[in-house]
Amino acid sequence: MYKLQFNILIMNTLKRIKVLVAIVCLFFISQVKAQNTFPEPISGNELTKDFISANLVYPENELSNKANGKVVVTLHIDKNGKGSNYQIKSSFSEAASPIALDLVKKIIWKPATYIAMPVESDFEYEIDFNAKSYNRYWKKHERVAIPLALEADDSYEIFENKQLEEYAQPYFADGSSMGQYIYGNLQFPAEAQEREIQGTVRLSFVVETNGNVSNTVIVNSVGGGCDNEAIRLIQGTHWIPGIKDGKYVRTYNMQDITFRIGQRNYQDGNSY
């Protein structure tokens, strides 16, 4: 009888050990998976979709015929997030292919990771062409005609401002300054006001050769809605691009936007 009880105890103990081992293995696998990621646009998927919506040029014939579809672009992304070997894998329209290719080439990437280490990878990215969504977007947004007089560099290289020609850094298309723009458009977030959050949000972004902004990244976060407001402000800017060798080029830019309690909110006239 004692031998039977002992055997039952051993069997129950072994079952518990198996369950414990299974739990540990599942936890380990989940931790490893969490450290393995696919490539992602450096500004995140949502901001990248906004960039694509604002810069996508729908082929005229496809738009008039309300033709919808996708263009799938393949590329290789190295450990530093640099893309290369761009190819069209599939496309619903021959006219849409170069448009999609141009947009994907402008995206800066976070590389894939394996066990939290950056690795090279081959990746696919889809550009969606939907006539109804396209028309709806431009009913809600104002088209800004930026007066561009020079040819655009087609290398997709991004330059620092110090690499540009003298007095050829990007500037606001309407002739105002960043300070004036922030002064007239900053909306102090309600959450930051209620929680008495203040500080300086620092953003990096690229001014494209068409004067639009891309690849916006929060370098220094404040929270309380200030990050989103800073992004909104930067995304709403339009520029005369920087110039190098007589051509408009893509340029890296950095901007600080300060949220300070007691600073006037220029949208509603109140001070917080």
Number of C-beta neighbours around residue 118 at 10 A: 17
- CB-based burial label for 161 (10 Å; 0-12, 13-18, 19+): middle
Class of domain 40-140: alpha beta
What share of residues in the chain are helix, strand, coil (percent, to 5)?
A: 35, 30, 35
pLDDT the model gives residue 32? 43
Write out residues in the chain with pLDDT < 50, as ranges: 27-34, 265-272
pLDDT the model gives residue 31? 45
The sheet carrying 121-129 orders its strands as: 83-91, 69-77, 121-129
Task: Write down the residue that tokens 């890296």 correspond to.
Answer: 252
Q: What is the CATH number of domain 158-259?
A: 3.30.2420
Give DSSP secondary structure letters for 3-61. HHHHHHHHHHHHHHHHHHHHHHHHHHHHHHHHT-B--EETT-HHHHHHHHHHH----HH
Dihedral Cα 35, 37, 41, 47, nearest 10 deg: -80
- CB-based burial label for 206 (10 Å; 0-12, 13-18, 19+): buried
